């Protein structure tokens, strides 16, 4: 399972790093589906008895993406020595100038939610929430790290993972004397709390990390209970769901399966994970045979990815087999911001809620 998660994360990273990834979209845009993406909570809607009765695409939009720190101006307990995900012992003595970089923007969001946002000095292109919008970019041409841009910011610590590259840049930053903490690149419902505490420990705020992990876990549990109350209980009535990763400019069409993070996402929103039924591990190129076998009722996709294929109509033209499935025939697609849908960070509960609203009460966001 762990190998599958790491492999899928690496494949996602490679595809995004090709230059066809997140292109700093307007945070208010809903893009590919053509819906207006109204911001509605699950508690405010009345889902239909049969979610298959809905036709047309929908955008899932997080109800409130604002940062809510668990502490105001916490005092890091320094120095702190941690052993990172690569087995490297790293000592952090100064957190006054933090960089937190990964392909989904999860690490920077976590730092802000810990209460250390004022110490963050730069961002990657995936870090798009309003509180970080004015920070200088250290990624160029998509998701390529720039050693010059990073070192010009004189960071005192870099927290990252292996989803951004070139890796030589990370090594160059370390060789320049900057403590570099490399965290697990896995993103799933199973390690949200662990990732949160790892970031907090590296920055000397373990108490805030525990508080944020507990808050996030509690929110996820609450939302999952709300979803369970509206999603079909019987497996036979659950929507057959697939997650497609699309980069139309490059002709990249993948279906995410077990160990990709999408499997946990689908299960959490009460869908039937078709990839599991098919024994689809990790992330594999879509084939006509695979799509026909899947017969999805609904397709989840990243917003910019769907846009890159020309929206729903463009994707159905590119993948004619998809047009023959219930999802294609009813144009039942749910898109969500690329930097949120598989980020599995502090916004996890809000992501699940937004997806559930889009799936079970799409008229509320139409």
Same domain (yes/no): 315, 204: no
Tokens of 304: 């910019």
Helix (H, G, I), strand (E, B) or coil at 250: helix
Same domain (yes/no): 260, 162: no
For Cα atoms 124, 126, 132, give the angle at the middle one, nearest 5 degrees: 70
* Domain CATH number, residue 88: 3.40.50.1980
Residue 151: partners with Cβ closer than 8 Å, 6 or more residues away: 172, 173, 176, 178
Residue 39: partners with Cβ closer than 8 Å, 6 or more residues away: 61, 62, 63, 64, 365
What's residue 238's pLDDT?
A: 94
What's residue 339's pLDDT?
A: 87
Among 215, 249, 283, the domain boundary falls at 215
Tell me the pTM.
Answer: 0.88
What's residue 108's pLDDT?
A: 98
Task: Please list the alpha-helical segments (H only) found in 153-273.
Answer: 167-175, 192-202, 206-230, 262-268
Same domain (yes/no): 296, 353: yes
- Inside any domain, residue 114: yes
| Total of domains in the chain | 2
- Inside any domain, residue 226: no
Residue 180, domain extent: 80-215
Same domain (yes/no): 168, 267: no
- Inside any domain, residue 72: no
Q: Give the C-alpha distances (Å, rounded to integers) separating 361 from 3, 45, 341.
A: 36, 7, 18
What's residue 40's pLDDT?
A: 74
What's residue 289's pLDDT?
A: 93
**What are the per-10-residue average pLDDT scores of the chain (366 residues)?**
41 43 36 44 81 92 89 97 98 98 96 98 94 95 91 98 95 98 94 97 98 98 94 92 92 91 95 91 90 95 95 96 97 94 95 95 82
Tokens of 16: 């995004």
| Rounded (10°) CA dihedral 6, 7, 9, 13 | 130
Same domain (yes/no): 241, 317: yes
What's residue 259's pLDDT?
A: 86
Same domain (yes/no): 203, 267: no
Same domain (yes/no): 60, 84: no
- Inside any domain, residue 75: no
Tokens of 206: 């373990």
Same domain (yes/no): 156, 247: no
């Amino acid at each position: 399972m762990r190998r599958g998660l790491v492999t899928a994360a690496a494949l996602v990273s490679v595809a995004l790093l090709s230059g066809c990834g997140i292109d700093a979209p307007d945070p208010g845009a809903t893009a590919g589906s053509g819906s207006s993406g109204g911001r509605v909570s699950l508690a405010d809607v009345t889902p239909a008895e049969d979610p298959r009765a809905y036709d047309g695409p929908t955008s899932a939009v997080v109800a409130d993406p604002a940062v809510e720190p668990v502490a105001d101006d916490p005092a890091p307990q320094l120095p702190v020595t941690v052993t990172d995900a690569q087995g490297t012992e790293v000592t952090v003595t100064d957190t006054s100038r933090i960089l937190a970089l990964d392909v989904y923007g999860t690490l920077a969001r976590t730092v802000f939610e810990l209460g250390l946002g004022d110490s963050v000095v730069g961002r990657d292109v995936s870090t798009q929430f309003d509180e970080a919008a004015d920070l200088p970019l250290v990624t160029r041409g998509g998701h390529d790290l720039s050693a010059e841009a990073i070192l010009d910011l004189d960071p005192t610590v870099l927290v990252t993972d292996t989803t951004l590259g070139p890796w030589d840049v990370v090594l160059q930053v370390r060789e320049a004397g900057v403590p570099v903490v490399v965290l697990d690149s896995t993103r799933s419902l199973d390690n949200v709390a662990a990732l949160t505490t790892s970031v907090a420990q590296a920055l000397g705020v373990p108490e805030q990390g525990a508080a944020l992990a507990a808050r996030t876990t509690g929110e996820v549990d609450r939302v999952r209970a709300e979803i369970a109350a509206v999603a079909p209980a019987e497996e036979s009535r659950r929507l057959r769901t697939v997650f497609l990763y699309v980069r139309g400019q490059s002709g990249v069409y993948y279906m995410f399966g077990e160990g990709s993070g999408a499997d946990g996402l689908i299960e959490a929103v009460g869908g039937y994970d078709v990839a599991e039924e098919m024994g689809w591990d990790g992330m594999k190129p879509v084939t006509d045979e695979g799509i026909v076998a899947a017969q999805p009722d609904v397709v989840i996709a990243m917003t910019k990815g769907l846009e890159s294929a020309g929206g729903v109509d463009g994707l159905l033209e590119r993948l004619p087999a998809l047009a023959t499935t219930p999802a294609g025939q009813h144009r039942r697609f749910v898109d969500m911001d690329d930097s949120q849908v598989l980020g599995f960070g502090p916004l996890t509960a809000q992501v699940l809620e937004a997806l559930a609203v889009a799936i079970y009460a799409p008229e509320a966001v139409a």
